[in-house]
Amino acid sequence: MTVTFKPLGSTFAAEVSPLDLRQVRDRDTLMQLRAGMDQYAVLVFRNQPFTNDEQLDFAQRFDGQLHAKTSVAVLAKNRFGNEALTDISNVNAQGDIMAANDRLRASTISNRLWHTDASFENPAGRYSMLSARVLPPVRADTEFADMRAAYDALDADTQQSLEGLHVYHSIVYSRHVLGFEFGEEERARLKGAVHPLVRTLPATGRRSLYLASHAQHIEEMPVPEGRLLLRDLIEHATQPHFTYRHEWQPHDLVIWDNRTTMHRARPFEDKKYRRELCRTTTLDVPYEIAG
């Protein structure tokens, strides 16, 4: 099967030709999709009515080991019964819209910050796959930033100054910025991780900035200067010409590469309208598609 890609953004993101990912099992098609990920970093698939098991099956078939040590897992029991299925929703276990003072809502609302999934883990996240299950009658978009194009746009001296720098990523930090506090036991389960500030995509050799709201400080710099540099780089990387804004349609599946993008949820009337999405994220470990 030949897969085609229709560019959606100025530097990245593409919509993939119609296919049913639940039925895609041949190595050639899966490899074409991975090549599309390397080129576009964000892929949009329409009309993908996944069940939870089908989404898990595809995620593992496409990219191997799943991320299950999520921040949500330390706050509440997963209503899907599987921590590899991250509940990106504004409803509780009974299916009711969360109260304004619900602790889980207070944590997940921080998805509106620019972030990179599982950067606070080692190994970190590679691909995230977000399935639209229930959408509100108003727009509730997700926005992405191309960190490769952002790196390419830096002058040579700035690029050189970033070489060899390492960033400590902590979800405790990013939540604290918004006033959310984890308990002592929760903090112990969310220790954070250190990753290079500039990463190289193995398949293409392209360089990419690797930072987001979880980025607490730069290991090799004093905290004030390091945090200012991180803030400046995020501001640079989120200029409009580096971003793509996805307007959700029913049963969309969007896959993005966490090594080369940041993303954020855009606000909507979440105390009035239901929105339910389900995310699987793979870990950045060696994986070969079978076949």
Q: Cis omega before residue 7 (within 30°)?
A: no
The count of other CB atoms within 10 Å of the CB of residue 211 is 26
Instruction: Give the domains, in start order, of the chain with CATH numbers.
Output: 5-283 (3.60.130.10)
Phi, psi of 29 (to 5 degrees): -65, -45
Adjacent-strand bridge partners of 79: none
Q: pTM for the whole thing? A: 0.95
Phi, psi of 161 (to 5 degrees): -70, -20
pLDDT of residue 74: 61
pLDDT of residue 222: 97
Dihedral angle computed from the Cα positions of residues 11, 15, 16 and 19, in that order, rounded to the nearest 10 degrees: 170
Tell me the three state secondary structure of residue 44: strand
Gap between the Cα atoms of 173 and 192, Å rounded: 9
pLDDT of residue 212: 92
pLDDT of residue 184: 83
Query: Within 64-217, where are the H helices?
Result: 103-108, 147-152, 156-162, 171-177, 184-189
pLDDT in tens, the chain (291 residues): 899 999 998 899 999 999 999 999 999 999 999 999 999 999 999 999 999 999 999 999 999 999 987 766 666 678 888 889 999 999 988 889 999 888 888 778 889 999 999 999 999 999 999 999 999 999 999 999 999 999 999 999 999 999 999 999 998 888 888 888 888 888 878 889 999 999 999 999 999 999 999 999 999 999 999 999 999 999 999 999 999 999 999 999 999 999 999 999 999 999 999 999 999 999 999 999 987
Gap between the Cα atoms of 124 and 166, Å rounded: 14
pLDDT of residue 225: 97
pLDDT of residue 102: 85
